[in-house]
Amino acid sequence: MRLSVIIPTLNEARELGETVRLVRSHSDDPAIEIIVADSGSTDDTSKIAREAGLCVAADASLSSRAKACNAGAGLATGDTLLFLHADSHVPPRFDAMIREALRDPQVVGGAFEFKLDGPEWRLRFVEIINRIRYRFRARYYGDQGIFVRRATFEAVGGYPDIPIMEDSRFCQKVMAFGLMPLLPAPMLTSPRRFYNGGILRTLALDFVIGTLDLLRLRPAWLSERYRRENQERGTDEGPR
């Protein structure tokens, strides 16, 4: 298995360096391929990526996370793809875990457990709610580190070009081709989105988004509100 790690970014200069360092130090392969697909950052995200020796696709036309993920996949040389948020930290030997999962020919992809990096008890509540959600309905979010065989990624046509909940819809398409197990090791993600927006308020918004997605509804105003709230929080983070 040759793994390519694809990191979609938008103004992630503060987070990217540590995320890349951990990908390299926690991998069995010191030359692991890391690709940054940047959606027109106005900070030093692309500069940091290039100085780190990464392959970079930087274009303002990558106006959504789905487009960025697909662009990054187009540059990847690996037969397995891992899509990683810039503020998510991989567990030790993450690539060995992926390799072991893919030994089963019925497995076409998967994701890691969700965990937030912070001591606040309300973050533990968010984790519990999310862990119940993706066990009840196995569609993972990008902050869990979704991995997929390249052949399957190409067979489903990549990420659907929608402005919100693209990860959930992508998992639905992939699962039509085989199994997507949940790996027990946690993908540790920054809680900045919850701190900046209010932990319970952000959780409630996520619940609304997830419920509408379950009902096959994706109103444009909700996507715009989600993006606007992220910008107001100072994260400049696109919809997940």
DSSP secondary structure of 191-203: -HHHHHH-HHHHH
Domain for residue 122, yes or no? yes
Coil/strand/helix, residue 81: strand
Domain for residue 229, yes or no? no
pLDDT in tens, 210-229: 777 777 666 566 666 656 65
Domain for residue 224, yes or no? no
pLDDT value at residue 90: 98
CA separation for the pair 144, 7 (Å, rounded): 13
Please check whether residue 82 is in contact with residue 3, taking contact to mean a CB–CB distance below 8 angstroms: yes
Domain for residue 202, yes or no? no
Q: How many CB atoms lie within 10 A of CB 209?
A: 21
Res 238 pLDDT > 70: no
Domain for residue 156, yes or no? yes
Range of the domain at 162: 3-190
CATH at residue 93: 3.90.550.10
pLDDT value at residue 229: 57
Domain for residue 201, yes or no? no
Domain for residue 132, yes or no? yes
pLDDT in tens, 103-123: 999 999 999 999 999 999 999
Domain for residue 63, yes or no? yes
Please check whether residue 166 is in contact with residue 64, taking contact to mean a CB–CB distance below 8 angstroms: yes
E strand or H helix at 123, and its extent?
helix 121-136
pLDDT value at residue 62: 84
218 Cβ contact list (under 8 Å, min separation 6): 162, 163, 164, 165, 212
Indicate yes or no: pTM above 0.85: yes
The terminus-to-terminus CA distance of the chain in angstroms comes to 27
Quick one: tokens of 228? 């606007």
Q: Name the one residue in this structure whose structure tokens are 């390519």.
A: 4
Domain count along the chain? 1
